[in-house]
Structures are given as structure tokens and as C-alpha cells.
Chain A
């Protein structure tokens, strides 16, 4: 390969692509802002859920008929609010975001008689926020029942401990960062998509676009090796993919300050170090994907045809992380052999604060280089026959 020709082609393709401001802007907005925006929205959601939990409020219907229960709740420092009359309607329409406790008219009497009065916790499982409060409320009511039961036993001289023959303790093995990665797991996905979108336009423009314009034929009439042309074009495509990935990465660094939720902020660690490791992991992906997109596009006569062809690549790569999301915890070795999925798994390890291992990293590098070489070889071979038809 001729390095001078490579640089000439690279320079021209970069200049050409960067002049296409409108396309660049349209591509950067989703690639760079989408992820941080999602993160902010999620952090706000988590905050509001936490605030709700801290509120210690019970919304009830007919609390006046249940002074004993009221006494218990108030001892647990809960305040009691009367539910609006149309609470069912409001819950359904998600205007009310906490469950409602419905108390029967004869609650107090039935309780005294030992008739097991019925309580109703009304919620709407389609109303996510209200649904979150159901568990707390039912635990609270359970606590009341247990207290009543305990008291009744004590009156009869039975130790209340008998009702609890076993003791259950929960122990969470996830580190703070591993827990956070449930929320931050979408970041690597967005960054992989950023690489794809950054490379896509340039990959199509330098292959199918060049054919459609009729500029590929004159280009091939220059006395330069075709591999140098292909490498130059590929270099520009891969650089653009990486440039968008860099911007997308940088977007998350300030996003950290935009997270309003303290506990999330503490869990979410994404500094320059993480960003740099992300980018290094993405290099082989950008190299391989650029070549793959070019190889798919070179056979197409028009930009439109190439777009249809590349849709398959885009969907495949951007959905690959779903495999890992669907099987949380598992990380079989073949993940590293799948472009997109391998990088996703490694980036998740970075987010969880785990040390990267050489073997998986080298596997993804080898995969990227292999795809790159196959793709570029195919493009170089196809270019001539593409114009001859």
C-alpha cells in the first residue's frame, strides 16, 4: 500500500464528509445527547420514587372507621391522607401515584370480635409509580396484623417469638457499581450506536454514493493501487465513527453533574478514565464496522439501495447487547466473538469497576481486525467490477 496515496484519499474523504454539515448535525444530536438525556430522565424518575418512599404517607378511604389502625400507622410516623372520591379513576389515569388503602365500615368492630376484617390495597399495575408503593403499604399493614396477633398471643401467655420460628436476613452481593450498572447499562449501547451512525453516512458515501455520482469510474482511472484508495476511504470512515464515539463519550462526563439523585450520583462513576477505556475498546469495533458497512454498500448502485442493505448490519450490531441484557450475569466466552456484544460486555465490566482481562479484550480486537481485512479485501476486489457493470 502506498502511504502517500492513503493520506491523500483520507484527507479528501474527511474534508468531504465534514463539509456535509447538515448530515453531521442530524447525526450528532441523537448520538451525543440521547444517552445523557435518558440518564437524566431516569435519575429524575429514581429521585421521585425515593422522595415518595421518604414521604411516609398513607392514602386511605374510611380511616375514621379504624382508630386502632390509625394509631398504629401514626406510631410508625406515617401521616394519613384521605383519598379523593374518584381515586380509582385517578389511579387508572396515572394522576394519583400511590396506592390507596380501602377500609370497610365495620373494621373496628370486626377487629375487636376477631372476625378478620378485610382491607383492600387498590392500585393499577399499569401505573408504575403507584405500583412501587404497594409493597411498602402491604408491609405496613402486615406489620399491624403481626402486632395484633402478637398482642393476642401475649394475653394468653404465649411468647410471640413462636410465630417467627425462622429468621430471614437478606444479603446483597452486588457492589454499588454493579447495582448502578443496571441503570447505566444503556450507556455502552448508546455509544456503540454512536459509532455506527458516525460511520454509516461516510461508509455509504464513499462507496455507493461514489458510484451513484459516477465519480468512482474516474477515480479508478488514476494510476494508484486500489488497496490504497480503499484504505484511505476506510480510514476516513473509521475516524468519523470514532469521532462521534468520542463526542458521545464526553457527553456522559458532564451528565454526571446533571444527575439530581444523590444515591445514583454516588453509584455512577464515569470519569475520563472510563471514557478512555471505552474508546480503546471501541477502536477494533469502529475498524471492523466501517469495513463491513463499506463492503455491504459497494455492491449497491445507489445510496438508497445501500441504506436498505446496511439496515441489517445496523440492527444486528445495535441489538447484539440485548443478548447480554436478557441474560444478566452470564458472560460466556462466545460473547466476545460477536461484534457489538463483545464490546458491550467489556464496557459493562468497566462500568462495574471490574478489571479487564487480556484474553477477552484480545479476542474482540482480533474479531475487529478480521472483519476489517475481509471487508476491505472485498471492497477492493469489487470496486472495479462495480464500475464495469
Chain B
């Protein structure tokens, strides 16, 4: 169970826009960008919670705060009741995070990549190895397992990174746009794997899934949080959101919810 409670993050950026006539000696004026603004999210166990928003809505920044890479300016983050700010390592141990950056070690095999992270999660080598085999079955990547990841395709890399994030069998799974660059079959395979992990047989995991692809949300998510301009603009099941926006197609509903609210707000795009 993951709970974000009114988290905010503001960045200070130095812009070098033409309008300001930047020079070598004068630093451009600092502008602040409110990347995330009082965002709340409640992701229960056994459910796939979608985090849906246009590019720059603050999804990745929110997930980075969840992963402990950025401290939130305000608000609280808790993972299975553990305060992520006070006990970051315990919170991290309960999460498997596939972030925006998910680079592999090219000179290590897929298995070695997975086992390394398992070991860092405190697993014994044998257990981590067994878990790598298990995940290879789940993600259909047995043939890849003992090859060096150098030269892997985008989809193969994504699978390996996902297996690496799940190696310690975390109760909470956080995925940031995991279908980027995957082909139809791989996307379908991933969808099935996530459904399995959500089911009681798969461990009834709490899954948070950020994306900007409508289809995935419609097919996969139990509840959706729509984010725009760093703020939550709508929340509910797909049906509820359709009703709220008064649309029949989810895409129209999303546009109405996300961009409709953004026009009224002063905060532009962020992170």
C-alpha cells in the first residue's frame, strides 16, 4: 500500500531564453517551477493504480520522491505504513521501482544484473538466482537470462530491468512508463504479468503504474489518478472518470480532465 499525502516539489531553474539576452557573464535569472503541487495518491494492495498525465505533468518527479531520490518540500509519503522520510531504507525494501532511468550493466548477463540487485536487497546468492529463474518464466525471458545485456533490444532491456526491480518480491511495485519502446507482444506480455501480480495467486501486489497511454489505463487500471500541472485533477475508476467528464471515449475524457484544468491554472509544464 502506497500513500502520497499532499506532496509538493518546487525546482529552481536557470533559464537561458533568448528574450532575456543571456550573456557569458550574467547568469540568467532563476525561475521556480512547481513540478508537483499538493499531490495525493492512494494505492491499495491488490489493485493497479494508474497515474495518468500529459508529458511534464509531474509523474516522474512524484515517483522519484517516492523512491527517496528527491525529498518532497511538503507532504508525507508512506509505504505499508512506513514513513518514507523517516525510514527510507525500510520503505525502499518494500518497493520494486522501475524508474524513468533503468540502465543495465552491459558487461554483466541479465541474470547477473538481477542477482546483483537481489544481493543489495539483502538476498542470499542462491535465493536471488532462483528468483531470477522464476521472474524469467513470468516475463518470458529465459533465453536471455545468461546473455550479456550488451546489444539487448529495447524490449529485452525493459524486461531485464523489470525483473531486476522485482527480484526481492516486493509488496509494492512502482512502474514509470514501462511500455515505452515495447512492441505489441511485449506490451501484452507485460500486461498479463501485471495482472498476475495483482491477483491473489500473484501475491496481491500494490501496483502503481504511470503512463500517458490511454489504452493501457483502460485495460489495466482499477483506479486512475489524473495529474496535470503537478496537481491531481481527477480520481476514480475509468467509468467514473468517463461520467465525470461526460464523455464516451476515455481519450476525450482524459483531454477534458487534464487539459481543461490546466488552461485555468498558472502553473505550466514541469519536470
A residues within 8 Å of B by Cβ?
A: 5, 8-9, 12, 15-16, 19-20, 210, 213-225, 384, 387-388
Contacts and interface: CB of A to CB of B under 8 A. Distances in A.
A15 B116 CA distance: 11
A20 B108 CA distance: 10
Nearest to A212: B103
Contacts of A9: 120
B67 A221 contact: yes
Interface stretch (B26-34, B94-102, B178-186, B257-265): B94-102
A218 B97 contact: yes
A218 B101 contact: yes
Contacts of A218: 97-99, 101-103, 117, 161, 164-165
Question: Closest 3 A-B residue pairs measured CB to CB?
Answer: A214-B103, A214-B101, A213-B103
B107 A215 contact: no
Interface of B: 64, 67-70, 88-90, 92-93, 95, 97-108, 112, 116-117, 119-122, 161, 164-165
A19 B107 contact: yes
A88 to B, nearest CB: 57
A131 to B, nearest CB: 52
A16 B102 contact: no
Nearest to A21: B107
Contact of A388 (B69, B93, B105, B122): B69
A223 B90 contact: yes
Nearest to B117: A222
Contacts of A15: 108, 112
Contacts of B89: 223-225
Contact of B101 (A16, A217, A223, A384): A217
A224 B120 CA distance: 7
Given A221-B68, A223-B122, A387-B69, A215 B103 contact: yes
Contacts of B101: 214-218, 387
A209 to B, nearest CB: 10
A30 to B, nearest CB: 22
Nearest to A5: B120
Which of the listed residues B107, B117, B121 has the most CB atoms from chain A within 10 Å of its own CB? B107
B235 to A, nearest CB: 26
Contacts of A225: 89
A206 to B, nearest CB: 11
A223 B161 contact: no
A20 B107 CA distance: 7
A217 B119 CA distance: 17
A217 B100 CA distance: 9
Contacts of A220: 67-69
Given A8-B119, A9-B120, A213-B105, 6 more contacts: A12-B116, A19-B108, A219-B117, A220-B68, A223-B92, A388-B70
Contacts of B108: 12, 15-16, 19
Contacts of A384: 69
Nearest to B125: A8
A144 B264 CA distance: 108
Contacts of B105: 12, 16, 213, 215
A290 to B, nearest CB: 20
A222 B107 contact: no
B160 to A, nearest CB: 11
B270 to A, nearest CB: 14
A213 B104 contact: yes
A266 to B, nearest CB: 47
A8 B112 CA distance: 12
Given A221-B97, A388-B69, A213 B120 contact: no
Nearest to B92: A223
B106 A213 contact: yes
17 contacts: A8-B116, A210-B103, A213-B103, A213-B105, A214-B103, A215-B101, A216-B101, A216-B103, A217-B100, A217-B103, A218-B97, A218-B99, A221-B97, A223-B89, A223-B90, A223-B92, A388-B70
Given A16-B107, A388-B70, A217 B99 contact: yes
Contacts of B69: 217, 220-221, 384, 387-388
Which of the listed residues A5, A8, A221 has the most CB atoms from chain B within 10 Å of its own CB? A221
Contacts of A219: 117, 120
A388 B143 CA distance: 34
A222 B104 contact: no
Nearest to A8: B119
Contact of B92 (A5, A213, A216, A222): A222
B37 to A, nearest CB: 18
Contact of A222 (B98, B99, B103, B120): B120
Contacts of A20: 107
Contacts of A216: 101, 103
Contacts of A8: 116, 119-120
A218 B101 CA distance: 7
B190 to A, nearest CB: 18
B201 to A, nearest CB: 27
Contacts of A16: 105, 107-108
A388 B65 CA distance: 10
Nearest to A384: B69
